[in-house]
Chain A
């Protein structure tokens, strides 16, 4: 057996996994009957449909050709997600100013081309912009500085 359409194969598997997962979780809730549908019935129905569709997609990927999955690049994904998580931590404990600076400075490394000086400048601009627009102009309740 040979996978001839890798993109479809893997997406099919994801659909099956998600569908089965939702059905399994839904089965913990009351199903009820068609007249009085419980909280579990609709998700179980849709989850079943999703799993079935996923199975068809995966099965078809074994018979018809399709494009290969482009190689995963670790750099954008890792730095992108890391910067967002750091932003969350920083916003909670250190306030918006530091959080935005961290987000820009770490996030910028998601690109292959990094110019530290320009990124510093960008960070300053974005901090000023966030504070000026989001906090002062729009009045969003964001802590600016570390809360001791």
Chain B
């Protein structure tokens, strides 16, 4: 009952005309940019971050959340119509969605994606409302030792579930941590690793780093190979799925939502793992096992519901623990810090209007997406025709103005140029940027908590295993690492990633 009261309170915040407008603007801009080929949700959120600088914390976060799921939905549109997944989480949507489009059923595919996402979003919002508060209460009792172990677990889990080489991913986490602690050390006041540059006293800008990796360096890599894709814009037809479609998809949406909600909470899981797992399950469970991979509408409904549910529930660790489970959540935390809010369990009690307003706005945002997308599909399709050579200079403009706008320092513009060159090199060598971003956000927090727990424990490192909760986190992290190192499981992971 209390939850419903809280949700009602949040709804009151979210439907204030101002927040409603920002939620709408967020969803609209998010979809707009997310639809553009070659721009994923992380890049979208990073580029649109400057739009929220002038706002208060609550509207800023509401708008960013809107941008996030708007971009997520926009990615599905490109997956279905152009066979380019906007990001990894819509890869599976391309399998059946693109086939549907080729058979002239692009409309229903887009429609069912929107409807599935809406249903999943509604349920996931309720899950957040029920599960976030108890989790935050537990987290409030955490000592620095528990926090440190939790962050280790979060980073390890994120790395294990990520693509590519495990060793390189862990190395990228370490590199991220090191880049993150550049600047003034809060304990001693020493300015570290700044090479005498006073501008680096505040550290490397988070916005600059995110934009360099997901914006500019990504563009530079994309420009190296130009591919022509076939766009299905002429034969969209009605976006409304038939009654038969809906009946067939009902259970797929339910299953996708369940899997997505569960996996979204896991660090590193989020939308990506959720959509893959949902598709796999659907292939096994769905009856009759019609033609998956050849345009089965359930092959769109399930992963789309799952990735939206996962995208929503990945807010749980971010809101309650202050721990990002994926790069987008890292951006949200970065945005909170820019707004002067320290992320963590105290946000719920100290800033209830922010916490509950954001949660309620997710539901409002999902409704808006549904209303926005079904009639506006025609507009989004026109955007798909924009050639990349006209798109990427615009990305440059957004990134450069955005990074300058954070602090109004010209230095940051040069910083993003240097970081982009570095990012280009790492991307070229197949080093995943996601672990680096997570390490960057968590690095300073890890150091802080490590130092505090050592201070309390008089330098006795066994504190991490003698405190039960901390021990569980560390044990879980170790178990994950060992499990992934075992040859049998590794083969399975690679197989799953390959699909």
Contacts and interface: CB of A to CB of B under 8 A. Distances in A.
**Do these two chains really belong together in a complex?**
yes
A24 to B, nearest CB: 10
A101 to B, nearest CB: 10
A138 B226 CA distance: 35
Best-surrounded residue of A7, A56, A139 (most CB of chain B within 10 A) = A7
A142 B401 contact: yes
A26 to B, nearest CB: 8
B35 to A, nearest CB: 18
Nearest to A33: B459
Interface string B170-198: 11001101100100010110101100000
A81 B455 contact: no
Contacts of A144: none
Interface residues of A, number: 74
A43 B223 contact: no
A54 B426 CA distance: 13
B408 interface: yes
Interface in A26-48: 26, 29-30, 33-39, 42-43, 46-47
B307 interface: no
A22 B400 contact: no
Given A126-B394, A140-B53, A11 B429 contact: yes
Contact of B400 (A14, A76, A84, A122): A84
Interface stretch (B108-116, B252-260, B417-425, B491-499): B417-425
Interface stretch (B339-347, B354-362, B446-454): B446-454
Main secondary structure on chain B at its contact with chain A?
Answer: helix
B401 A130 contact: yes
A87 B395 CA distance: 13
B220 A77 contact: yes
A111 B389 contact: yes
Nearest to A96: B401
A72 interface: yes
Contacts of A139: 54
Nearest to B189: A39
Given A46-B177, A56-B167, A35 B459 contact: yes
Interface of B: 50-51, 53-54, 165, 167-168, 170-171, 174-175, 177-178, 181, 185, 187-188, 190, 192-193, 216, 219-220, 223-224, 226, 388-390, 392-394, 396-397, 400-401, 404-405, 408, 410, 413-414, 416-417, 420-421, 424-426, 428-431, 443, 446-447, 450-451, 454-455, 458-461
27 contacts: A8-B429, A10-B429, A11-B168, A11-B431, A18-B175, A18-B178, A30-B190, A34-B460, A36-B455, A37-B455, A39-B185, A39-B190, A43-B192, A47-B174, A60-B167, A84-B417, A96-B401, A103-B400, A104-B393, A104-B394, A107-B396, A108-B393, A110-B219, A122-B393, A126-B393, A126-B397, A142-B405
